[in-house]
Amino acid sequence: MPKALKILILLLATVTIGIYASNIPQIKAKITPPKNEVEITKPQKPSAQIAQTDLQITKEGQVVKGQNSSLPTLYIPGDLKIEEGQKVEDKNIIFAASVAGLVAKTDFHPASIRLLSKDEIALYETDQTVAIFSSRKSPDQQVDSLQQVLAASKIEGTKLAKIDLRFDKPTVTFK
């Protein structure tokens, strides 16, 4: 094979390899030094007063010390020991505290909260109207439904005895 042909083949091979190599994505590593950032968190607002104690519970289940007569009283099982600074692990208690925090922004003003079963709670208003919630459903959705029922009741001028929010459509009992 003539020398000129070998050089031409070598040149074509080099150009072809260059074209293919330019289409391969390049990985570039960027190393950044660690940042010394301080995370500032707001103190959590209590949503319920734990019965017969000077302790309160936040929506997240954190137990804090304090007395606030405007918060609903949460009745918890007697065998459950709760201390200041503790993070409650019981999902039903956390659900009850979460619902209490959400309901605080509605026209329903509960005086007390009771755990009915492992996944149901009842909120009792001062006039003894009761709202029943299920932890199997979204608390936000149930509170929205509660507010709609309360608004309709106010427009119609009816007195409510019981609002059961455990079902797809709330069940309402009148006084």
What is the per-residue pLDDT across 79-107, written as a single tens digit (0 to 9) for each?
888 889 999 999 999 999 999 999 998 99
pLDDT of residue 173: 92
| pLDDT, tens digit, 9 for 90 and up, residues 112-122 | 999 999 899 99
Phi first, then psi: give them for residue 64, nearest 5 degrees.
Answer: -130, 160
- Our measurement of the distance from residue 77's CA atom to the centroid of its chain's CA atoms, rounded to an integer in Å, reads 23
Confidence of residue 11 (pLDDT cuts 50, 70, 90): low
pTM of the model: 0.73
* CATH 3.40.50.11690 is right for the domain spanning 46-174: yes
- Of the two residues 32 and 26, the one the predictor is more confident about is 32
Q: How far apart are CA 55 and CA 92, in angstroms?
A: 18
Tokens 């391969």 correspond to 24
Phi first, then psi: give them for residue 117, nearest 5 degrees.
Answer: -150, -170
User: What integer is the mean pLDDT of 31-59?
Assistant: 81
Phi first, then psi: give them for residue 110, nearest 5 degrees.
Answer: -70, 145
CA distances from 45 to 61, 67, 87, 107, 166 (A): 11, 12, 14, 19, 27
For residue 123, what are the β-bridge partners? 113, 131
